[in-house]
Amino acid sequence: MRIREVSDHAFQLTRMGLVNCYLLRESDGYTLIDTGIGGSAEAILVAARKLGVAMEIQRVLLTHAHADHIGSLDQLCHLLGNADVAIGAREARLLPKKPAQDRSRDENEPQGKLKGMYPGATSQPTHLVSDGELYGSLRCLATPGHTPGHFSFLDERDGTLYCGDAMTTVGGHLHISGWAPWYFPLPNFATWDKPTNLETARKLFELASLTQMEQVAPGHGPVCPLNSKILAVAIVEAEHTQS
């Protein structure tokens, strides 16, 4: 597993060259954002040991419930013992295994079929994050579209946006999921509702115009610079393709 420093507070852990999770230092230990594909738990902990923080992982924070983000959740929870698990309340309905998994759409949501793999997990959330909540150093932002209850997390210490699959940077450029480049189409295939995800990008643009955003740390692709101008380019690209 490749380790790269994201900031003074965080590291990017990448498996198979494309699937990212992140270790963030907090005052009481470390937060792991996402768990990668199944079979990644040992590799994540080996990487954490290299950084000297394996036993300091206090919580697992999930952007959404797709297989490449929760795949190693159960194994990690078993190995870590007592780590907290946090996810958005809407997305938590998709976290259990069948038959408990609730794949229904709310009346006020687009009714399109869910896309991507939702394998579920036996681990249960200990905390449900809400839009605008400050979870440690992370501002929790509801970013639906890729999935109904997708969340992103803005580290207010350094302006890093951990965006899950709301956006991707494979190839070194920012793309809105649903309009990812031809050479990495997986976010497009797995995006539940493209118009909703585009509206999410517009809301992130508005936020970037008002607050500090310095870089984006996605589920797929390298950490890249981020500001309102970069977001505007990605939005225009998506709008042009959509029309």
User: Is 33 contained in some domain?
Assistant: yes
Asked if the structure places residue 88 within a domain, the reply is: yes
Is the pLDDT confidence value at 242 over 80? no
Task: Specify if 106 maps to a domain.
Answer: no
pTM: 0.97
Check: CB of residue 21 under 8 Å from CB of residue 32.
Answer: yes
pLDDT tens-place string over residues 12-45: 999 999 999 999 999 999 999 999 999 999 999 9
Mean pLDDT score, 137-163: 99
Tokens of 154: 């803005």
Q: Which two tokens stand for residue 36?
A: 């990668």
Q: Give the per-residue pLDDT at 179.
A: 97
Tell me if 110 is assigned to some domain: no
Q: What is the CATH number of the domain that holds 11?
A: 3.60.15.10
Number of domains present in the structure of the chain: 1
Q: Could you report the per-residue pLDDT of 113-123, keeping only the tens digit for each?
A: 999 999 999 99
181 domain-assigned: yes
Q: Residue 241: what pLDDT?
A: 84
Q: Is residue 209 part of a domain?
A: yes
Confidence label for 124 from pLDDT (cuts 50, 70 and 90): very high
DSSP 56: G
Decide if 111 is inside a domain: no
Alpha helices in the chain (DSSP H): 41-50, 67-70, 73-80, 89-92, 186-189, 194-210, 228-242
Residue 152: which domain range?
A: 2-101+118-242
Give 66-104 pLDDT, tens digit per residue: 999 999 999 999 999 989 999 999 999 999 999 999 999
How do residues 181-224 score in pLDDT, each as one tens digit? Answer: 999 999 999 999 999 999 999 999 999 999 999 999 999 999 99
Domain annotation covers residue 165: yes
